[in-house]
Amino acid sequence: MVDIWPFYGTRPYNQDAKTLIAPSTDHLSIENIESFRKNNYWNYLKILNPVGQLKEKDSLLEAKNHFKEMKENDVIKKDEVLHFYIYQIELGNHHQLGFLSLASIKDFEKKIIKPHEKIYESRKIERADQMMNLGTQIGPIYVSYPSENNIRNLLLSKIDKPPSYDFESFDNSIHRLWCINDSTFIEELTSLLKKVNAIYIADGHHRMGAMGYINQKNPSNDKFMIAAFPSNESKIFDYNRVIKDLNGLTKNEFINILSNDFKITNKDSAFRPGKKNEFGMYHDHQWYALEFISSTISNNFIDTLDINILNNFCFTKILNIKDVNNDERIRFIAGCHGLGALEKKVNDNPDSVAFSIFPSEITDVIKVADNNLTMPPKSTWFDPKPLDGLVVYEFE
């Protein structure tokens, strides 16, 4: 049983939403982000600051002052009545329809809201510092719920009218939002979610950890904002890797050792895996297809995930990468950047090697979460995502 609540959302009022929302650092370069920030005086980037750079009290004060200034100038305004917010995202031929609401910290603690990634202490505290500084959650935690026709039909019944917001974001995705304060709708959606056994965190694990940390500091902050979408509409892309060097091996030595566990085939062009246990590899201006053939893999479900096959049979075994989350030799490249981004990274550093990976599936995410397990870092790239700053939740 999942509990949800409507809330008084703070949202764009006298300013276009498109210029207020915070572009993702995963989609844009640092230069593009700085340009976006400079060209839009009113923008949540000035409030959020990239995680890892918010270290000085001056930065915290600057963020707090800008948020206050936005409210004082009616750039954003808090709703005076409780709402659920129906949220539709469109990217190319892909559509997903869900909603924004509040959820309970207790449901996270009771494993009704389930994670699939490890939450790291330092990143959790950085997120918590940002939120406590403002008393506000700027970005929702993206969750996925088992697809359910009754929920979908209820949401569809309310989107025949023009949305309150309808715009194209920086990544060419279309975002539409309907602000619903109808009491019957609120009761029906709340009731339908009580019939759902569990929901799954897709993106925002460290925000989730931060909200739990904030609740420990102040038990009255016992809710957090989610953007919930059905599992059959939550799209996962590949999350690829570039390794800085071959651990002192020559190309031929590396390929010979790798061939003990993988069938290796030369390819004439960039290779994107089409199924599980298949990988692409790029090194020295040459693409390869890798097919996992080893019979030594354990029956542990986590070990059978493609990303762990690559971790265990290549990164650790051959390239001597013991800690994939912290080793400076590994870089993670989101699939939205395409295989050309892998080629460029390797061509700029000829000693490096890149791997393209078949995307994780939502069924894998759910199975991992249901068994209280965790996937390796950067295993899932959910895209498109709900935006930071479209609706924000000021702690009540």
Query: pLDDT tens digits for 279-310?
Result: 999 999 999 999 999 877 777 888 899 999 99
User: Which of 39, 44, 38, 36 has its CA nearest to residue 20?
Assistant: 44
Q: What is the pLDDT of residues 132-187, one digit of tens each?
A: 999 999 999 999 999 999 999 999 999 999 999 999 988 889 999 999 999 999 99
Residue 51 confidence (pLDDT): 41
Q: Kindly report the pTM of this predicted structure.
A: 0.91
Pair 167, 17: CB distance under 8 Å:
yes
Quick check: 396 pLDDT over 80? no
End-to-end CA distance of the chain: give it in Å, rounded.
24
Which pLDDT score is estimated for 247?
96
**Residue with the two structure tokens 């994939």:** 324
Cβ within 8 Å of residue 17, ≥6 positions away: 11, 165, 167, 175, 389, 390
Q: pLDDT-based confidence at 29, cuts 50/70/90? A: low
Which residues have C-beta within 8 Å of that of residue 159, sequence separation ≥ 6? Answer: 86, 88, 97, 176, 178
Using CB atoms within 10 A of its CB, is residue 187 exposed (0-12), middle (13-18) or buried (19+)?
exposed
Helices (H), 135-176: 149-156
The residue count for the chain: 396
Question: Cα–Cα distance between 82 and 9 in angstroms, integer?
Answer: 8
**Amino acid occupying residue 118:** K
- For the segment 190-194, the average pLDDT, to the nearest whole number, is 97
Residue 325 pLDDT exceeds 90: no
Helix (H) or strand (E) holding 65: helix 57-72
| Per-residue pLDDT, 53 | 46
Whether residue 57 has pLDDT greater than 70: no
DSSP annotation string for 68-127 = HHHHHTTSEEE-SS-BEEEEEEEETTEEEEEEEEEEEHHHHHTTSEE--BPPPHHHHHHH
Q: Could you give the percent of the chain with pLDDT greater than 70?
A: 95
